[in-house]
Amino acid sequence: MNSHRSLKLTSRDALILVDVQNDFLPGGSLAVPDGDQVVPVLNGYIKVFQKRQLPVIATRDWHPLNHCSFKNNGGIWPTHCVQHTHGAEFAGDLRLPEDVEIISKDDTPTLNSYSGFRCTDLSKQLRTKGCERLFIGGLATDYCVLNTVLDGIREGFDVVLLEDATRAVNLNPGDGDNAIARMKKAGATSIRGEVLENGI
Ligand code: VGL
Ligand code: ZN
């Protein structure tokens, strides 16, 4: 529906890359189906934001070994994104700018919010930079992208979901599509492959 519209970027825009980490890619401990396919698409968006000198922020799942979301500790997930391990590193072919801001999240044993905004200073950093609109993509659609988008909207930001740069776990069939519907219902705009023009 929106697929051929173009958007003008402004100085109030920021790009947020959610959890593009080895454990969520094929071969990782919590591999998201086709998770690697978001990398080249996000690289394209990174290039556009970098060229405009707009903020690029990368969140990372940053769990301690005793994290409550792990099966070992009563949770539902295999052990993943343990602090300082290869699985927690960003995808090797993700072209992060040198000045990327990294937000570590769910980094205490009892917190599993799936959101870049919970118990982090993401909101404060965005406000300090004067950001009003967030372009959000990454992994996974039905968990950390969903919760980061919903919190971003709650925090008062306009949110644009980069639908071509996100993939779902789909623990239950349809979870990814349902998550997209929830984000849109909450007020997110969704784009796929639009040209982001320089509106500064
Ligand atoms: C995520 C499951 C568990 C995510 C994080 O980044 O979407 N999913 N932890
Ligand atoms: Zn996690």
75 contacts: CB under 8 Å, gap ≥ 6: 67, 68, 69, 112
Ligand 1 atom index nearest CA of 18:
6
CA max distance for the chain: 50
Q: What is the ipTM of this complex?
A: 0.98
Domain annotation covers residue 6: no
Domain annotation covers residue 199: no
Give the closest ligand to the alpha carbon of residue 68.
2
Residue 80 and residue 141: Cα distance in Å, rounded? 17
Pocket test for ligand 1, best of 22, 73, 82, 139 (most atoms within 8 A of CB): 139
Domain annotation covers residue 124: yes
- The per-residue pLDDT for range 67-85, each reduced to its tens digit, is 999 999 999 999 999 999 9
Residue 139 and residue 169: Cα distance in Å, rounded? 8
CATH number, position 116: 3.40.50.850
- The per-residue pLDDT for range 128-146, each reduced to its tens digit, is 999 999 999 999 999 999 9
Ligand 1 within 6 A of CB of 135: no
- The per-residue pLDDT for range 120-130, each reduced to its tens digit, is 999 999 999 99
Regarding pTM above 0.90, the answer is yes
Domain annotation covers residue 101: yes
What are the residue ranges of helices labelled H in 31-174?
38-51, 122-128, 146-154
Ligand 1 within 6 A of CB of 61: yes
What residues make up the domain containing 81? 13-191
Nearest CA to ligand 1 atom 4: 144
CB 23 within 8 A of CB 80: yes
Band of the pLDDT at 193, cuts 50, 70, 90? Answer: confident
Domain annotation covers residue 22: yes
Domain annotation covers residue 5: no
What is the tally of structural domains in the chain?
Answer: 1
Ligand 1 within 6 A of CB of 143: yes
Domain annotation covers residue 3: no
